[in-house]
Amino acid sequence: MIPIAKPWIGEDEKREVEKVLDSGMLAYGDWVKRFEKEFAEYIGVKHALSTTNGTQALILALEAIGVKGKDVIVPSFTFIASATSIIRAGGKPIFVDVDERTFNIDPDDVRRKITPNTKAIMPVHLYGQAANMDEIMEIAEEHGLFVIEDAAQAHGSEWNGKKVGGIGHIAGFSFYPTKNMTTGEGGMVTTNDDELAERVRMLRNHGQTERYMHEELGWNFRMTNIAAAIGLVQLRKLDMANEIRRQNARYYDEVLGEKVMIPYVDERARHVYHQYTIRVRNRDALIESFKKEGIGFGIYYPMGNHKQPIMKKLGYTANLPVTDMLCKEVISIPVHPLLKGEDRDKVAEIVLGSVN
């Protein structure tokens, strides 16, 4: 079996976790604080605030800026957490279409969907490629809106030389095991805004401003030292892991480029290939070939969020032709850093054999 994703966990992660276990300090503590400090330095922001998962990172970011009763513009072509986090924070997701080439949020559709009730824009750096942050920030400044980056799939990705997670007003990362780096489960909020950082810090810790002084309704969304220990090691080898992903992507580009719609990479972006996603007309045939040969694949995503049953029940609808088209054509193939050369060859061979 060739998996679609595989976490790169080695002896260094195990040793760091053993240190935590030996210390007896398993909950939030020194390892988390070090992880937050190093992650902030890596992204290039003043604040990095860890939490329990990527979805909660987005919820905390949304709650920090205050979206209750307000509209948040978000692409539909993404994992559902991008939308449900808005609802959980009391806001209303306004679905927009994506650029057909990059799969990322379409700035023109963003402009069309802004109303007096709009509070924020949430670009998603899908598959590891940064969204067009120049236009998004320009639109936000023109209309006085917040920008919340959904960077769950984009650790180390850049736009015009600046790492995502440090371009908008606030951002959320995920450390789920399939991501470019992991803590098992976990998330991180990043921001340069002192006030937003303090609100996130308070909301994730029972609304406390000091011990047993609860100023707001908050919860326990703190990361553990065990998770942070894994994250510290993962962060230190993230650039190496991303470069291997990029090498695998370049191989696919060269081998598949003449027969398959390979990922388009904006020249202003540094793609880190959380997923290598191609477009094919005969996807069902390729899926059957992958299943027969034991090759992992992913359909990210088979349905836009604007068509999900729960969104229909809640009354959220949209007309998004590009999203609908992509949902019928996209398929992601293994690109992770533990992918062997012979396995990569086999994946490419199956793809070419299915599209001919």
Q: How do residues 298-339 score in pLDDT, each as one tens digit?
A: 999 999 999 999 999 999 999 999 999 999 999 999 999 999
Cβ atoms of 64 and 285 within 8 Å: the answer is: no
The whole-number pLDDT of residue 89 equals: 98
Mean pLDDT of all residues belonging to the chain: 97
What's the rounded mean pLDDT across residues 62-90?
98
For residue 87, pLDDT beyond 80: yes
Residue ranges and CATH numbers for the domains of the chain are 11-96+103-236 (3.40.640.10), 238-355 (3.90.1150.10)
What's the rounded mean pLDDT across residues 341-354?
96
What's the rounded mean pLDDT across residues 87-93?
98
The whole-number pLDDT of residue 13 equals: 98
Confidence of residue 236 (pLDDT cuts 50, 70, 90): very high
For residue 297, pLDDT beyond 90: yes
For residue 355, pLDDT beyond 90: no
Higher pLDDT, 72 or 216: 72
Confidence of residue 237 (pLDDT cuts 50, 70, 90): very high
Confidence of residue 348 (pLDDT cuts 50, 70, 90): very high
Q: How do residues 181-215 score in pLDDT, each as one tens digit?
A: 999 999 999 999 999 999 999 999 999 988 898 98
Q: How do residues 102-161 score in pLDDT, each as one tens digit?
A: 999 999 999 999 999 999 999 999 999 999 999 999 999 999 999 999 999 999 999 999
Q: How do residues 12-37 score in pLDDT, each as one tens digit?
A: 999 999 999 999 999 999 999 999 99
Q: How many residues does the chain have?
A: 356
The whole-number pLDDT of residue 210 equals: 86
* Percent of the chain at pLDDT exceeding 70: 100
pTM score of the predicted model? 0.97
For residue 225, pLDDT beyond 80: yes
Mention every residue, 6+ apart, whose C-beta is less than 8 A from residue 296.
1, 2, 3, 4, 5, 290, 334
Burial 42-51 (b: 16+ CB within 10 A, else e): bbebebbbbb
Confidence of residue 349 (pLDDT cuts 50, 70, 90): very high
The whole-number pLDDT of residue 321 equals: 98
For residue 356, pLDDT beyond 90: no
For residue 51, pLDDT beyond 90: yes
